[in-house]
Amino acid sequence: MLPVEHNGDGFHYVVSYSRHEQRGGGGGGRRAPEVAKRVMDWRQSQLVVAAVEAYSEYVVAVQAVNHVGPAPPSTVERRVGHSAENGRHAPAAFDF
């Protein structure tokens, strides 16, 4: 996001993720407790998260924040991604 779109000082991203746990039978799922990481450098285009469980689904969201506060919840898009064997696999088409 370009500086002109930051709408104030202190702009950064909050990337949150949680393991998506499948329920038996119905195909629904639930999420484990959420973890949030702050990305203070708005030029940073990736975040590598270590120690995630291999071959698991994770729900990932990115939210913009500045000194006024977080962007409205309606702007937070959640995606389900899969961890790879080595724990480094991003959800497809996840732009922010």
Report, in this order, helix, strand and coil percent for the chain, each rounded to 5.
5, 40, 55
Q: What is the pTM of this model?
A: 0.68
What CATH topology corresponds to 3-82?
A: Immunoglobulin-like (2.60.40)
Render pLDDT for 13-48 as a digit per residue (tens, 0 to 9).
Answer: 898 888 877 655 445 556 578 889 999 998 888 888
For the ranges 12-16, 45-49, 79-83, 86-90, the maximum mean pLDDT occurs at 12-16
Q: Read off the pLDDT band of 6 (50, 70, 90).
A: confident
* pLDDT at residue 96 in the model: 47
62: tokens are 């990115």
Give me the residue spans of the domains in the chain.
Answer: 3-82
